[in-house]
Chains A and B, each alone.
Chain A
Amino acid sequence: MFLINDALGFSASLSHPKSNISAPYLMKINSLKRSVDVESFEITIDEPSLKNLKQLSNFFDFKDVAIWSDLPHQQCQFNIHRRPFHDRRLELMAYGEFNIREGIFDFQSNSWRTNGMSDETYLKEEANLRFTRSGLPVGIIPYFHLFVNQGEVALPPLYVELSDTKEEGNALSLEGSYSFYVDEWQEGILSISKCKPIA
């Protein structure tokens, strides 16, 4: 028969009907050092270290970006194409629409043609894109760069950066085509069209 010593932080209940802990083992557990006063160590990470910490996959630092925050609120349609470098043939990967308010993209209903894990939630929840005063979308979007056939294992998206290349369209207009680098054999094209004012 063992007494449960309440002064110890580690105590095993002998009253539980299923307990069949061996006596020597119980004595060992009950003799373990326990804490009375837990000490709290503050966290003080210096600024240079903070700057280099890992971020979310869609993180983008807009601190030095001049966002076109008073751009009129609009709803636009978009397509995303894949363009291999070797033949420059366009393949439609996704389409849908987005709203833009204060220069911030807010993707709405959309659809990927790549199958696999792609669905509309990725752009809706993880696109981190702004429109700048220089007339370019800047930021990070999730991008499914491969078509997945039935039976193949699906992969999560890449997170690609849009920065500074407008291929078509008037400067300082949302509508147009914007290319972005994906990997060594392909780039992507975000095409924006049919923008109309919204509240």
Chain B
Amino acid sequence: MISRRLFLKTTGASLALAGIPISGHTRDLPNGNIVVIILEGGMDGLAAVPPLGDPDLERHRKALMATNPISLNPFFGLHPALGGYAGMLANNEATIIHATNFPYTRRSHFEGQNVIESGNLTPFADRSGWIGRALDLAQMPGRALSIDMPLIIRGNLNNDNYYPASLVGSSTASPALMRLLSRHHQGFTATAFEKLSEKYAYEEKAAARDPVSLAKYAGRQLRNPQGPSAAVLRVNDFDTHANQGSDKGQHSRQLSELDDIFLGLKSGLKDEWKNTIILTLTEFGRTVKINGTVGTDHGFASAGLLAGGMLKKGQILTEWPGLANKYLFEKRDLQSTIDYRSVCAAAIEKAYGLDHNLIADKVFYTPALPRLTDKLFL
């Protein structure tokens, strides 16, 4: 008998896939895949990638510092829970962007999550997401696989969603029956049955919902030439207001889960790893200083973790702003010096072959968005 706690544990992550070609729709396949890992709650970039060479780090947050970070270079370290990711850095399959985020400063989870998914700096102003718009521009309408339709992959009306149940015993309808029903109806009803027949024609095996299994599952689906071109995984519990921990603790556990996801994706993607870009998203970072409950509060800049075979090399890209009080954003947060939308735009440019200016204007509504593609990718 599975305990309730274990059952809930297996539902702590979710996955969405998009850009699956609808049968009968012909298009040129894109070169690459994009996988976004949304770290909900606000990932502490200073804990994940501590700037050990900054003299103010220990002064501000000694109790939160891991005692045995992985040394990446004289200035930066990596939390020991990210050991698998460190191996990717060493193999030139990962890049870290530090002191970065979307230019959103109001520190609200709901607004921030909407901003990073929609790609619109005005929260809740957009009904589509930046990946969805990118897929539209690349002329790749398709299906998403998820229990809901995450904003980030909402594009045009041809996107739909479907979720493979994780419990044994669920049955699927016959695609042939659905098509027959479609032919004997008209209008919206006929369309509905047709969509159902397409869903069930795309045979799906139930996937376990723990993050590693979802990651492997996503990787396997992305390998399929007729499969999706984008995947979104969501990991919760980064909102560490209290007892954040250092080597161990809540934040460390979530970083470990993230690390497992990176490894799971690599395992599932196999050779398709070389055509895939993985990037993390989080609505904001955390405050530089520790609060009264040995945690941190909502901040501004964080770190972005990228991985995949398209990256140029293992490196940390940043214009380090410093942690002295005078350099902090509003005297409390790590200052953001790189617009993370540029990183997302570079991923779209590289994976889907779109022009940067088009992406900047039509996906992020910011024609002057700086271009980082050549610094990041081969």
Q: Chain A residues with Cβ under 8 A from B263's Cβ?
A: 54-57
On whether the beta carbons of B316 and A40 are closer than 8 Å, the reply is: yes
Whether B167 pairs with A55 at a CB distance below 8 angstroms is no
Contacts of B213 in A (CB 8 A): 117, 156
For chain B, the count of residues having a C-beta within 8 Å of the partner chain is 66
B2 contacts A41, CB within 8 Å? Answer: no
Q: A53, B267: Cβ atoms under 8 Å?
A: no
With known contacts A45-B71, A56-B267, A156-B210, A13–B103 Cβ distance under 8 A: no
Question: B122 contacts A13, CB within 8 Å?
Answer: no
Q: Whole-angstrom distance between the alpha carbons of A16 and B71 in the complex? A: 44
Contact status B75-A49, CB under 8 Å: no
- Given A38-B319, A117-B207, does the pair A6, B368 have CB atoms closer than 8 Å? yes
Minimum CB–CB distance for A8 against chain B, Å: 8
Residues of B within 8 A of A38 (CB): 317-319, 338, 372, 375
Contacts of A33 in B (CB 8 A): 321, 335-337
Residue in B2, B83, B168, B318 whose beta carbon sits within 8 Å of that of A39 in the complex = B318
Contact of B366 among A12, A45, A49, A154 (CB under 8 A): A12
Chain A residues near B266 (CB, 8 Å)? 56
Q: Does B259 contact A (CB under 8 A)?
A: yes
B residues in contact with A125, CB < 8 Å:
220, 267, 270
Tally of contacts, chain A with chain B, CB under 8 A = 169
Task: Tell me how far the C-beta of A34 lies from the nearest C-beta in chain B, rounded to whole angstroms.
Answer: 7
Q: Is the pair A10, B339 in contact by a Cβ cutoff of 8 Å? A: yes
The binding surface of chain A is classed by DSSP as loop
Residue contacts A-B, CB under 8 angstroms, 23 given: A12-B121, A15-B365, A28-B105, A29-B103, A35-B370, A39-B317, A39-B318, A39-B319, A40-B316, A43-B313, A45-B70, A45-B89, A49-B71, A117-B206, A117-B213, A149-B168, A151-B167, A152-B168, A153-B6, A154-B208, A155-B10, A155-B210, A156-B213
Residues of B at the A interface (CB closer than 8 Å) are 1-2, 6-7, 10, 70-73, 75-76, 83-84, 86-87, 89-90, 103, 105-106, 120-122, 125-126, 166-169, 205-208, 210, 212-213, 220, 259, 263, 266-267, 270, 313-321, 329, 335-339, 342, 365-370, 372, 375
| Shortest 8 CB-CB contacts between residues of A and residues of B | A54-B83, A35-B319, A43-B314, A54-B84, A41-B316, A150-B169, A16-B365, A53-B83
Known: A43-B72, A50-B87. 8 other contacts (CB 8 A): A9-B338, A19-B121, A29-B103, A34-B339, A39-B317, A39-B318, A43-B313, A121-B220
